[in-house]
């Protein structure tokens, strides 16, 4: 199972993603430089966190024009699994693979904190094995992670079960006190209509070992592996 | 020629930066200030013989300089 981890100038979670994935049995992750133009031969694509191109202009605004992004869009349209965490989520929104945008945190602070997330869609490609309402602990580390979408988009996201994760209180309630950054409806992670592109502000890559505070990030990556294995089995 | 581009947050988008500056202005003796919205101002030098300049600039404003989900833009020549 081969994962491509895209490296932009200014990515800083690329190493974390590769280390986390290579620690999972059956997974193998490789760096792919943003100037490459093909993602042929990979089973899944990871857009890591960081500050691609210094986040100049807007987060992800310049990264979306990197040569590799045409291949990311093409592979996403072909149904390949794509996950973007933190800066990767911002890039996916900028390029239009995911709806909405991420803006400055409501209280302006850069927040670096281990948080509780509630799984809203248990059978997505990224949350297999996480029952509805189960809680995951993962850290966030961002200054611009306040998710915004207009009312029509929000309605569609809800109706089509595209809201995968919401920020929750430690006992799993979705309310303002569990919302770190002002995201609408406590949204922490969404997928596209087809369900194969997932963006989230929390870092599964930083939550893959108990000694780092949580190993819940593994559930996301393992779910991706199960999804790919299932689709291979169907094809065989 | 010099082209100026103004990029501003849409009315529906929260602008916490603007709110912080508004609060500072009120603290500094201007309680009359009720709202501040912060955007971006770009000065672009471009050859005015460029073919289809207006439409190409608009494309760049839409695709790169602003994000239509959260921002509006205006080109001033």
Contact (CB, 8 A) for A162 and A189 = no
Per-residue confidence band for A64, with pLDDT thresholds at 50, 70 and 90:
very high
Mean pLDDT of A140-153: 97
Q: Using CB atoms, which residue from A57, A65, A103 is nearest to B70?
A: A103
Distance of CA A76 to the CA centre of its chain: 14
pLDDT at res. A220 = 98
| pLDDT at residue B75 is higher than 90 | yes
Contact (CB, 8 A) for A88 and A49 = yes
Q: Where are the domains of chain B?
A: 2-76
Q: In this complex, is the C-beta atom of A117 within 8 Å of any C-beta atom belonging to chain B?
A: no
Mean pLDDT of A179-190: 98
Per-residue confidence band for A2, with pLDDT thresholds at 50, 70 and 90:
very high
The three state secondary structure string of chain A is CEEEEEECCCECCHHHHHHHHHCCCCCEEEEEECCCCCCCCCCEEEECCECHHHHCCCCCCCHHHCCHHHHHHHHHHCCCEEEEECHHHHHHHHCCCCCCEEECCCCCCCEEEEEEEEECCCCCCCCCCCCCCCEEEEEEEECCCEEECCHHHHHHHHHCCCEEEEEECCCCCCCHHHCCCCCHHHEEEEECCCCCEEEECCCHHHCCEHHHCECCHHHHHHHHHHHHHHHHHHHC
CA distance A69 to chain B (A): 14
Residue with the two structure tokens 């990767």: A88
**Rounded distance, CA B65 to CA A206, Å?**
32
**Rounded distance, CA A161 to CA A156, Å?**
8
- State pLDDT tens for residues A81-117: 999 999 999 999 999 999 999 999 999 999 999 999 9
Domain count, chain A: 1
Instruction: Give the residue among A103, A210, A216 at the shortest CA–CA distance from A165.
Output: A216
* ipTM summary value: 0.89
Contact (CB, 8 A) for A133 and A195 = no
| pLDDT at residue A236 is higher than 90 | no
Q: What is the CATH number of the domain that holds A122?
A: 3.40.50.880
| pLDDT at residue A28 is higher than 90 | yes
- State pLDDT tens for residues B2-28: 999 999 999 999 899 999 999 999 999
| pLDDT at residue A23 is higher than 90 | yes
In sequence order, which residues have a C-beta less than 8 Å from that of residue A228 and are 6 or more positions away?
A1, A43, A44, A81
| pLDDT at residue A179 is higher than 90 | yes
C-alpha count within 13 angstroms, C-beta hemisphere, residue A179: 17
B14–A146 CB contact, under 8 Å:
yes
Q: How many CB atoms lie within 10 A of CB A183?
A: 22
pTM score: 0.95
Whole domain around residue A49: which residue ranges?
Answer: 2-235
Q: Using CB atoms, which residue from B12, B16, B70 is nearest to A106?
A: B16
Q: Spell out which residues of chain B touch residue A104, defining contact as CB-CB under 8 Å.
A: 15-17
To the nearest whole percent, how much of chain B has pLDDT over 70? 100
A93–B69 CB contact, under 8 Å:
yes
To the nearest whole percent, how much of chain A has pLDDT over 90? 98
Report the topology of domain B2-76: Mth169; Chain: A , (3.30.1280)
CA distance A175 to chain B (A): 18
């Amino acid at each position: 199972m081969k994962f491509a981890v895209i490296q932009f100038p200014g990515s800083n979670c690329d190493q974390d993603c590769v280390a986390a994935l290579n620690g999972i049995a059956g997974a193998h992750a490789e760096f792919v430089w943003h100037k490459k133009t093909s993602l042929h031969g990979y089973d899944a694509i990871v857009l890591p966190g960081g500050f691609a191109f210094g986040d100049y202009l807007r987060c992800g605004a310049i990264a979306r024009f990197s040569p590799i992004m045409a291949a990311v869009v093409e592979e996403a349209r072909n149904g390949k699994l794509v996950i973007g965490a933190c800066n990767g989520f911002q890039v996916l929104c900028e390029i239009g693979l995911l709806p909405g945008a991420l803006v400055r945190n409501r209280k302006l602070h850069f927040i670096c904190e281990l948080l509780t997330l509630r799984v809203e869609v248990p059978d997505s490609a990224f949350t297999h094995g996480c029952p509805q309402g189960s809680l995951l602990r993962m850290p966030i580390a961002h200054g611009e992670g306040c998710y915004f979408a207009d009312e029509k988009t929000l309605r569609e996201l809800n109706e089509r079960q595209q809201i995968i994760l919401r920020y929750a209180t430690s006992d799993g309630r979705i309310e303002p006190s569990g919302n770190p950054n002002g995201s609408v409806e406590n949204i922490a992670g969404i997928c596209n209509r087809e369900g194969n592109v997932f963006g989230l502000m929390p870092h599964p890559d930083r939550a893959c070992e108990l000694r780092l505070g949580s190993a819940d990030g593994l559930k996301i990556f393992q779910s991706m592996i199960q999804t790919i294995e299932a689709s291979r089995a169907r094809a065989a | 020629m010099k082209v100026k581009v103004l990029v501003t947050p849409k009315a529906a988008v929260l602008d916490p930066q603007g709110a912080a500056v508004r609060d500072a202005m009120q603290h500094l003796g201007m309680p009359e200030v009720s709202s501040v919205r912060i955007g971006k101002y770009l000065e672009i030098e471009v050859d005015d013989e460029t073919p289809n300049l207006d439409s190409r600039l608009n494309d760049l404003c839409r695709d790169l300089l602003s994000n239509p989900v959260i921002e509006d833009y205006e080109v001033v020549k």
